[in-house]
Amino acid sequence: MKTIQSEPRVVILGAGFGGLRAAQSLSKAPVKVMLIDRNNYHLFQPLLYQVATASLSDEDIAHPLRAILREQENLEFLLANVTGIDLHSQKIFTDTDEIPYDYLILAPGSETNFYGNESLSQNSFGLKSLQDAHRIRQHLLMQFEKASREINPEERKALLTFVVVGGGPTGVEMAGAISELAQVVVKKDIPKLDVREIRIVLLEATDKLVSHLQTDLSNNTVTALSRKGVEILFGSKVVDYDGEFIRLDPFQTFPARTLIWTAGVRASGLMDRLGLSQAGQNRIRVLPTLQLPGFSNAYVIGDAAYVENPQGKALPMTAPVAMQQATLAVRNILADIEGTRTHPFAFKDPGMMATIGRNQAVAQIGKFRFSGWIAWLIWLFVHLIQIIGFRNRLLVLFKWFWEYIFYDRTGRLLEDQVFKDKAMNKLTH
């Protein structure tokens, strides 16, 4: 066992799935814990698209961190922006403090990756934060309002064309949710608007939706989305978008006032400033034990960590990976304190699922595959139990029940600023 004069300090950067799991796993450990995040809440990102499409509200999927952790006596939460990290002197720099540490867990998450395309970053919508979800929701609702007053058929067509880029789970769920918002809610709320004019397009650069799914489930996803009126264009790569026209490679252009980008994420920009070896999506290369090479007291977990599976492929940037890595990072830190050996990371894949809309989902759990209503129930149950806070679970369950019974959505409120100058709608990233 190492000789320790006082309880070591473990600093955790990021309160997403991995960071929060790490903090809670240290609740009974002989350490002092500091959790740092720029937000004072934990966000359940898998349901962000439902905030963006007016099914849920902010408080349904976000829970105050201090409320979650108030009973953990060895933990201090710091609301701050991290501006730098000195791995040699073992210090974290924030906009307010300089914080020393004995052990560090980096779990800063990820951000939307536009792959250096300025036109996309300036004119399309990402979906990684509550602010992103707000902008999408306000924009979608305004397009329907504008189209209901527009007399020019070409302009109305552009207003009612909604493009989602990226055929992963988020893109599939977003496209399906927009379809249901349009075909069910808008049809009732704005009867003068002909919903047959609404066009929803899902663009995927490869030849398969939700690539990690087995082919039959991927095909089921295509069928279910098509029945909802979603056009799926495979082999479509967006090369430019000016807010009015989308240009695809090769040589295809069409008008659309809405482009939602779910085609890629990259590790948090904080990782770029560490000067460490990075792999695809700017993720940091770590040892099998999740430690940083050359810094045995620093760990990287979640979306920021580059770890390969036994087949040599990078593990996905998902919540299950982050939470399992958090558990191991804590185990290895405690092992180091006690002077025992650390362990390598081995991911246990819990499966993958995506919902396409009402009574429609696909789920792949081990060797079992489900689609349709059964998969939808599995999806509902899994997501409901993962939401932090009993109150939040009740709110979400109630709203899902209300929407299922009455075909209605409660979150479709427009804020005043959307009526101001058009420049207010320009996005900044």
pLDDT tens digits for range 300-330: 999 999 999 989 999 999 999 999 999 999 9
Query: Residue 40, Cβ neighbours under 10 Å: how many?
Result: 13
Backbone torsion region of residue 106, taken as left when φ is above 0, otherwise alpha when ψ lies between -120 and 50, otherwise beta: beta
Of 71-85, 249-263, 394-408, the poorest mean pLDDT is in 394-408
More confident: 316 or 422: 316
pLDDT at 96 over 90: no
List, in sequence order, every residue forming a beta bridge with 259; answer none if it has no partner.
163
Annotated catalytic residue within 173, 180, 204, 403: 173
> Would residue 173 show up in a list of annotated catalytic residues for this protein?
yes
The bridge status of strand 62-64 relative to strand 41-43 is antiparallel
Residue ranges covered by each domain of the chain:
9-38+80-112+266-338, 118-263+358-425
Amino acid 119: pLDDT: 96
| Span 400-411, average pLDDT | 74
How confident is residue 250, by pLDDT bands cut at 50, 70 and 90? confident
Torsion of CA 63, 65, 70, 73, to 10 degrees: 150
Amino acid 274: pLDDT: 86
Please check whether residue 354 is in contact with residue 173, taking contact to mean a CB–CB distance below 8 angstroms: yes
More confident: 267 or 251: 267
| Span 124-139, average pLDDT | 97
pLDDT at 5 over 70: no
Q: How does pLDDT run across 33-63, given as a tens digit for each residue?
A: 999 999 999 999 999 999 999 999 999 999 9
Please check whether residue 169 is in contact with residue 221, taking contact to mean a CB–CB distance below 8 angstroms: no
Q: How does pLDDT run across 160-209, given as a tens digit for each residue?
A: 999 999 999 999 999 999 999 999 889 999 999 999 999 999 999 999 99
Output the CA–CA distances (angstroms, integers) from residue 272 to 280, 281, 352, in the order listed: 12, 11, 30
Reported CATH class of domain 9-38+80-112+266-338:
alpha beta
pLDDT at 3 over 50: no
Q: How far apart are CA 141 and CA 413, in angstroms?
A: 8
Amino acid 6: pLDDT: 81
Amino acid 427: pLDDT: 46
Output the CA–CA distances (angstroms, integers) from residue 398 to 18, 205, 348, 385, 394, in the order listed: 28, 37, 32, 14, 6
Domains 9-38+80-112+266-338 and 118-263+358-425 share a fold: yes
Reported CATH class of domain 118-263+358-425:
alpha beta
Amino acid 353: pLDDT: 94
More confident: 414 or 252: 252
| Span 404-421, average pLDDT | 63
Most confident of 4-8, 338-342, 397-401: 338-342
Amino acid 1: pLDDT: 45
Residue-wise DSSP of 405-418? HH---S--PPPGGG
Query: Residue 313, Cβ neighbours under 10 Å: how many?
Result: 8
Identify which of 124, 143, 140, 138 has the alpha carbon closest to the alpha carbon of residue 429. Answer: 124
pLDDT at 238 over 90: yes
**Residue 201 has which token pair?**
């397009």
How confident is residue 410, by pLDDT bands cut at 50, 70 and 90? low
Q: What is the mean pLDDT of the chain?
A: 92
Residues 6+ apart with CB under 8 A from 4: 337
Q: In what order do the strands lie in the sheet with 245-249?
A: 237-241, 245-249, 252-255
What SS3 state is found at 266?
strand
Identify which of 216, 260, 297 has the alpha carbon closest to the alpha carbon of residue 11. Answer: 297
Identify which of 348, 344, 339 has the alpha carbon closest to the alpha carbon of residue 299. Answer: 344
Q: How does pLDDT run across 256-308, given as a tens digit for each residue?
A: 999 999 999 999 999 988 888 899 899 999 999 999 999 999 999 999 999 99
Strands (E), 197-351: 199-204, 230-234, 237-241, 245-249, 252-255, 258-261, 265-267, 284-285, 291-292, 295-300, 305-306
